A = this chain, B = another copy of it.
């Protein structure tokens, strides 16, 4: 599998920043104050697993003009210096008494004096990644500062991927597809589910994934009941329906899709559920084109699912955005009127409930092109595969 280049050239970050600054001017924002991993990476390319340590906060300020300014722990300075960012302000963290707050106060005081508006992400699917007490203390020291929710601004940027981002997502989707293609040779009656998970993680790494941060699934006679649990040590048994759902990564970008198999034999209900979901996915693929809304996409899939179940197993939505995070805006749900545009990368994830609390989920990854959906995953077989 030929790999796209790792990282991005500087013009990618310059273009992202320029687009943000255009929207900031539209919204009257003098800056963006960002604390979360995908946003720091989006504007700088700063990529590290060190975010898994909750100890240290990391900050980025995107001014109305010019490059972003990084306010980060000293331990990250060497890595940040390899990015396009020039203005890197550091402190020796952790320092509970002053974990970057003085540096932020120095930076933001001129904006507070002017009574400027600064954008902070406060909306759906966001969190503030710094201690809430520190945030409150920072703002109480900057009484003139106006805080505006910048979620929609960031969302509108990040939802549409560049060609370079799409190449990375396509690459990890290909690795995921190659991994799932090996599962019939790995899974067998008698293999404990947790051992299968371990083997699938190893296979994904062998296929070229950098990491497999997300691997969930289930197996049970005639179907599974839960799609978010860790694997049990129960051995696979004839008549089980097995599902594996993976979020593997390559260069910081995710795939997120699943596959279903029957072990030894499949009953008619499971075959029918699979067929309904396969056709619901097909309806989603047909509907996903520029100017369609996520709500339309939801209804296109839901109308097929309704042949068998009107509740969709109550997982809340039938797919979502995909990129630097396992799940991103938008949501294919009745509440989401986001209009699809070219170069959005999406999952189509129809699900349904059947029998005695069983659930089945299908998932493919696509990119929206001018002419319609382009599959990034190798399409699942149209009939429930038996292994």
- A23 within 8 Å of B (CB atoms): no
- Checking B125, B130, B213, B216 against A94 with a beta-carbon cut-off of 8 angstroms, the contacting residue is B125
Would you call A78 and B205 a contact (CB within 8 A)? Answer: no
- A327 within 8 Å of B (CB atoms): yes
Name which of A132, A247, A326 has the most chain B CB atoms within 10 A of its CB.
Answer: A132
- A315 within 8 Å of B (CB atoms): yes
CA–CA, A99 and B78, complex, Å: 40
Known pairs A93-B316, A94-B316. 14 more at Cβ < 8 A?
A49-B228, A53-B325, A55-B124, A56-B316, A78-B225, A79-B226, A82-B229, A96-B124, A127-B132, A197-B210, A198-B210, A202-B202, A202-B206, A210-B230
Mask: chain A, 215-233; 1 = CB below 8 Å from B; 0 = not: 1100000000111111001
Q: What is the size category of the interface that chain A forms with chain B? A: 35 or more
- A214 within 8 Å of B (CB atoms): yes
Would you call A127 and B124 a contact (CB within 8 A)? Answer: no
CA–CA, A233 and B3, complex, Å: 12
> Cβ of A54: which chain B residues have Cβ within 8 Å of it?
125-127, 325, 327
CA–CA, A50 and B202, complex, Å: 20
Residue of B with least CB distance to A7: B230
Question: Which 9 residue pairs across A and B have the least CB separation, nearest first?
Answer: A122-B133, A50-B228, A53-B327, A122-B132, A96-B124, A78-B226, A48-B228, A74-B314, A128-B132
> Cβ of A87: which chain B residues have Cβ within 8 Å of it?
none
Mask: chain A, 144-173; 1 = CB below 8 Å from B; 0 = not: 000001010000000000000000000000
Would you call B213 and A95 a contact (CB within 8 A)? Answer: no
Contacts A75-B314, A225-B78: A128 and B125 contacting too (C-beta < 8 A)?
no
Would you call A92 and B126 a contact (CB within 8 A)? Answer: no
Contacts A50-B216, A94-B333, A230-B49: A55 and B327 contacting too (C-beta < 8 A)?
yes
- A260 within 8 Å of B (CB atoms): no
Cβ distance A286 to chain B, nearest Cβ, rounded Å: 24
Would you call B47 and A230 a contact (CB within 8 A)? Answer: yes
CA–CA, A206 and B53, complex, Å: 25
Residue of B with least CB distance to A79: B229
Mask: chain A, 25-39; 1 = CB below 8 Å from B; 0 = not: 000000000000000
Contacts A49-B215, A78-B225: A127 and B127 contacting too (C-beta < 8 A)?
yes
> Cβ of A197: which chain B residues have Cβ within 8 Å of it?
210
Would you call B205 and A92 a contact (CB within 8 A)? Answer: no
Contacts A55-B320, A79-B226, A93-B316: A128 and B128 contacting too (C-beta < 8 A)?
yes
